[in-house]
Chains A and B, each alone.
Chain A
Amino acid sequence: MGAQLRVYKRRIRSVTATKKITKAMEMIAASRVVKAQRKVAASTPYATELTRAVTAVSTGANDKHPLTTEVENPTRAAVLLLTSDRGLAGAFNSNAIKSAEQLTEKLQAEGKQVDSYIVGRRGIAHYNFRERKIAGEWTGFTDEPSYADAKAVAGPLIEAIEKDTAEGGVDELHIVYTEFVSMMTQNAVESRLLPLSLDEVAEEAGTKDEIRPLYDFEPSGQDVLDALLPRYVESRIYNALLQSAASKHAATRRAMKSATDNAGELINNLSRLANAARQAEITQEISEIVGGSAALSDATAGSDK
C-alpha cells in the first residue's frame, strides 16, 4: 500500500473513533435533557403553591421584611452566576459568563460594589484565571441539582442580604442563569431576585386582580413571612439550577450533534481522497507493467533479428 493511502486510512480510523464518542455523548445528553425537563416539571407544583402563599401573605400582612424592602441607596449587590462543571456544551457557559459580566459592569456603573457568587467549575475557572474575587462558589451538582443543593446556595446569599451593608452585607441579589426555552433555544437571562417585588410575584401567580381571601395566620403574619420568603428564594434558585442543567444538556446535545455531523463529513472527504490515491496507485502500477512489458518485447524483438 502506498504511503499516501496509508495516511488517509489512519486519519479515517481516528475520525471514526471520535465520531463514535461524540455520537454517544449526543445520545447521553439527549436522554439527560428529558430527565432534567421532567425534574423542572416536577418542581412546578411546589413553586406555584409557594408563589400563591407569598401573594397571600403580602396582601394579608403589611409587615416589612429585609427581603422585600428596597434600600434607598443600594451600594453593594450580589450576582449569582450559574454555569456548568463540564464543558463541551458549545457557547452555553460563555454566554452565561458574558451576560454576568455585562450585568456586573452595569451595576458598577451605577456605583454599586459587586460580589460574585458562582456555581459550576467553568465559571469559577474563568474568574480565577482573571484573578477576580469570588465571594462564594459551589461545584459538583450542576448536572443534577437537588433541592438540598439549592438550599446550600441560597443560605449564604440570604444571610448576606439580611446583614447590614456596613458589615459586609448586600442590598440586592441578581441571578444570571440559562433559561430553557426549547431543545433548540436556551437564553442566558438575568433577573433581580431580591429585594422581592411582591407585585411581580402576584403577577407571576396570575392572581393580581383576583380578590384574595382574608387569611388567618398561624402563628402570626410576620412569622409566616419570615419562614416563607427564604423558602421562596430557595425555590427560585432551585428552579434556575434545574433550568440551567436542562439547558446545559440541550447545548451539549447540539454541540455533539454538529461534531458528529462534521466528523461524518470529514470521513466522506477523506474516503474520497483515499479512493483517488488508491486509483492513482493502481494507474501507476498498470502503466509501470505496460511500460515494462513494452520495453521487454522491444528488447526481445531486437535480439530475434
Chain B
Amino acid sequence: MAAELHVELVAADRQVWSGEATLVVARTTSGDIGVMPGHQPLLGVLESGPVTIRTTSEVGTIVAAVHGGFISFADNKLSLLAETVEMADEIDVQRAERALERAKSEADAAAERRADVRLRAVAAR
C-alpha cells in the first residue's frame, strides 16, 4: 500500500493547493468521509464544511473551508473540486464573525452557513 496520496484542491478560478497527504477528511452529503491511500475509487458530492488534509510535508495539517463541490479519488489521486475554497489561514476571523452576525440578523440561511463553515475551519486548524 502506498503510504501517501496525491491531493489537488481546486477552486473554480484557481488551483488552491496540491501535494502529498496521508489522510483527507471531507464532508459529503451523507456524512464525513476519510480517505487514506489505497481507498477504493470514490466520487462524492461535498457539503459546505471544513476539509482537513494531513500532509506529509512540514506544513502538517491544513484546513480549508469548502463551499459545495465534489471529491473524487482514483489511482491514489484525490481531487477536491469546489466553486469556492478558502484556506483556514486566509480567512479573516473578524470578518467572518461580522458576516455571521449580519446573516443571522437578515435571516440569510445560506450566508449564515457559509460564515459558520469559515469559522469552524479556523477553529479546526
Q: Is B22 an interface residue (CB 8 A)?
A: no
Asked whether, in the complex, the Cβ of A216 is within 8 Å of the Cβ of B43, the reply is yes
The B interface, classified by DSSP as helix, strand, loop or mixed, is strand
Asked whether, in the complex, the Cβ of B15 is within 8 Å of the Cβ of A42, the reply is yes
In the assembled complex, which residues on chain A have CB atoms less than 8 Å from the CB atom of B71?
218
Q: CA–CA, A57 to B44, complex, Å?
A: 10
Q: Is A127 an interface residue (CB 8 A)?
A: no
B43, closest chain A residue (CB): A215
Q: CA–CA, A32 to B82, complex, Å?
A: 26
Asked whether, in the complex, the Cβ of B33 is within 8 Å of the Cβ of A218, the reply is yes
Chain B: minimal CB distance from A155 (Å):
13
Interfacial residues of chain A within 124-181, with CB under 8 A of chain B in the complex: 146-147, 151
Chain A: minimal CB distance from B115 (Å):
17
Asked whether, in the complex, the Cβ of A53 is within 8 Å of the Cβ of B75, the reply is no
B75, closest chain A residue (CB): A213
Q: CA–CA, A165 to B81, complex, Å?
A: 33
Count residues of chain B with CB under 8 A from any CB of chain A: 26
User: What are 28 inter-chain pairs, A to B, with CB distance below 8 A?
Assistant: A45-B15, A46-B12, A46-B81, A49-B8, A50-B70, A50-B81, A52-B79, A57-B43, A147-B13, A151-B83, A212-B74, A213-B75, A215-B41, A215-B42, A215-B43, A216-B40, A217-B43, A218-B33, A218-B42, A218-B44, A218-B71, A219-B29, A219-B30, A223-B45, A224-B43, A227-B45, A231-B69, A231-B70
Asked whether, in the complex, the Cβ of A214 is within 8 Å of the Cβ of B41, the reply is yes
Q: Is A43 an interface residue (CB 8 A)?
A: yes
Chain A: minimal CB distance from B41 (Å):
4
Asked whether, in the complex, the Cβ of A53 is within 8 Å of the Cβ of B72, the reply is yes
Chain A: minimal CB distance from B36 (Å):
14
Bitwise interface map of B from 40 to 52 toward A, beta carbon under 8 Å scored 1, else 0: 1111110000000
Given contacts A52-B72, A228-B70, 15 further A-B contacts (CB under 8 A): A39-B13, A42-B14, A45-B8, A45-B15, A46-B13, A49-B79, A50-B70, A56-B74, A147-B12, A151-B83, A215-B72, A216-B40, A218-B28, A218-B71, A227-B45
Asked whether, in the complex, the Cβ of B13 is within 8 Å of the Cβ of A146, the reply is yes
Asked whether, in the complex, the Cβ of A213 is within 8 Å of the Cβ of B13, the reply is no
Given known contacts A49-B79, A49-B81, A50-B81, is B44 in contact with A217 (CB within 8 Å)? yes
Given known contacts A218-B28, A218-B33, A219-B29, is B74 in contact with A46 (CB within 8 Å)? no
In the assembled complex, which residues on chain B have CB atoms less than 8 Å from the CB atom of A83?
none
In the assembled complex, which residues on chain B have CB atoms less than 8 Å from the CB atom of A45?
8, 10, 15
Q: Lowest 10 CB-CB distances: which A-B pairs, in order?
A: A218-B44, A213-B41, A147-B12, A219-B30, A227-B45, A215-B41, A215-B43, A45-B15, A213-B74, A49-B79
On B, residues with C-beta under 8 Å from A are: 8, 10-15, 28-30, 33, 40-45, 69-72, 74-75, 79, 81, 83
Asked whether, in the complex, the Cβ of A219 is within 8 Å of the Cβ of B44, the reply is yes
In the assembled complex, which residues on chain B have CB atoms less than 8 Å from the CB atom of A212?
74
Q: CA–CA, A7 to B39, complex, Å?
A: 82
Asked whether, in the complex, the Cβ of A43 is within 8 Å of the Cβ of B41, the reply is no
Asked whether, in the complex, the Cβ of A235 is within 8 Å of the Cβ of B42, the reply is no
A43, closest chain B residue (CB): B13
The A interface, classified by DSSP as helix, strand, loop or mixed, is helix
Q: Is A60 an interface residue (CB 8 A)?
A: yes
Q: CA–CA, A78 to B43, complex, Å?
A: 31
In the assembled complex, which residues on chain A have CB atoms less than 8 Å from the CB atom of B74?
56, 212-213, 215
Q: Is A238 an interface residue (CB 8 A)?
A: yes
Q: CA–CA, A214 to B40, complex, Å?
A: 9
Chain B: minimal CB distance from A218 (Å):
3
In the assembled complex, which residues on chain B have CB atoms less than 8 Å from the CB atom of A151?
83
Asked whether, in the complex, the Cβ of B12 is within 8 Å of the Cβ of A53, the reply is no
Chain B: minimal CB distance from A146 (Å):
7
In the assembled complex, which residues on chain A have CB atoms less than 8 Å from the CB atom of B72?
49, 52-53, 56, 215
In the assembled complex, which residues on chain B have CB atoms less than 8 Å from the CB atom of A216?
40-43
Asked whether, in the complex, the Cβ of A46 is within 8 Å of the Cβ of B11, the reply is yes
